[in-house]
């Protein structure tokens, strides 16, 4: 593996461990007493990703498919952590449990179908990409059309919801675009370039996310509305 990839993966792992530290600080904050159990889910986001990056930096779980290297832990990380990122935004909005779990399940489907596309050849690759991208659009619709209906009834968390909504809604658009340009898609960007871009993007998707929850922690009522 190239040194550039090892360095990028290591930087990402360290940055994600900073995210774990932020969640620790959040758990110790007296604001969160009533919702400690819900906050604990946040540990998984940077924690599982940090572990995945350590494994990827050690070249564990790398397979070669159609001449391209595929990091399986990238997809294992995404299938575990991205449902939490989007589901937590729904929880902050005050969405009922069925919406939070539903959006998380749809997200996991998007990733699994995307992995299927990455491991396929020929037309199946693009069919898989299309279906996964379609599910991504459904997620965006839920994030921008459904969750706000609930968020409006939870004024105290509205600002945090808007931050998380835009963080997830805007940043994630980069992922399918990068996939298209990567060797798994059209191959305009090298495997090394793709690996580096994703390493930093994953870091930006996760550590700032938990940091925003930390900065807005006062919005979690000591007497929560829907605990
Ligand atoms: C794939 C390829 C198929 C089409 C689509 C994709 C979307 C991936 C996304 C990933 C988000 C990852 C995050 C990681 C955080 O660390 C699977 C690339 C739509 C949206 C936020």
Question: Which atom of ligand 1 is closest in space to residue 136's alpha carbon?
Answer: 19
Per residue in 11-59, pLDDT (tens digit) is: 999 999 999 999 999 988 866 666 677 888 999 999 999 999 999 999 9
Among 15, 78, 210, which is best to mutate for testing ligand 1, by the most ligand atoms less than 8 A from CB? 78
Rounded CA gap, 94 and 99, in Å?
10
Question: Residue 2: which pLDDT band, with cuts at 50, 70 and 90?
Answer: confident
Q: Enter the ipTM.
A: 0.98
Distance 186 CA to ligand 1 centre (A): 16
Block residue for tokens 């819900």: 38
Instruction: Pick left, alpha or beta for residue 67 (phi over 0 → left; psi -120 to 50 → alpha; otherwise beta).
Output: left
Our mutation pick for probing the ligand 1 site, out of 108, 114, 185, counting the most ligand atoms within 8 A of Cβ, is: 114
Instruction: Please state the rounded mean pLDDT for residues 185-214.
Output: 96
CA angle 66, 80, 144 (to 5 degrees): 100
Task: Convert the pLDDT of each residue in 119-168 to its tens digit.
Answer: 999 999 999 999 999 999 999 999 999 999 999 998 889 999 999 999 99
pTM (two decimals): 0.94
The CA 227 to ligand 1 mean position distance, Å, reads: 30
Burial profile 207-219: b = 16 or more Cβ within 10 angstroms, e = fewer:
bbbbbbbbebbeb
Of 78, 20, 80, 34, which Cα lies nearest the Cα of 214?
20
Exposed e or buried b for every residue in 173-200, given b needs 16+ CB within 10 A?
eebeebbbbbbbbeeebebebbbbbbbe
Q: What are phi and psi of 223, to 5 degrees?
A: -110, 80
């Amino acid at each position: 593996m190239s040194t550039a990839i090892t360095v990028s993966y290591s930087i990402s792992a360290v940055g994600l461990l900073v995210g774990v530290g932020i969640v620790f600080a959040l758990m110790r904050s007296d604001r969160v007493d009533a919702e400690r159990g819900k906050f604990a889910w946040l540990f998984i986001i940077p924690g599982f990703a940090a572990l995945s990056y350590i494994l990827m930096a050690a070249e564990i779980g790398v397979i070669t498919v159609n001449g391209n290297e595929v990091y399986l832990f990238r997809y294992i990380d995404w299938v575990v952590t991205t449902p939490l990122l989007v589901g937590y935004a729904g929880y902050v909005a005050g969405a009922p449990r069925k919406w939070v779990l539903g959006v998380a399940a749809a997200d996991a489907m998007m990733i699994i179908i995307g992995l299927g596309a990455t491991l396929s050849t020929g037309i199946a690759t693009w069919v898989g990409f299309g279906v996964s991208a379609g599910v991504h659009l459904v997620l965006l619709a839920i994030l921008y059309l459904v969750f706000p209906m609930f968020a409006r009834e939870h004024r105290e968390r509205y600002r945090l919801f808007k931050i998380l909504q835009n963080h997830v809604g805007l940043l994630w658009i980069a992922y399918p675009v990068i996939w298209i340009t990567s060797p798994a898609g059209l191959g305009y960007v090298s495997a090394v370039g793709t690996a580096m871009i994703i390493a930093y993007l994953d870091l930006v998707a996760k550590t700032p996310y938990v940091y925003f929850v930390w900065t807005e922690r006062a919005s979690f009522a000591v007497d929560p509305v829907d605990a």
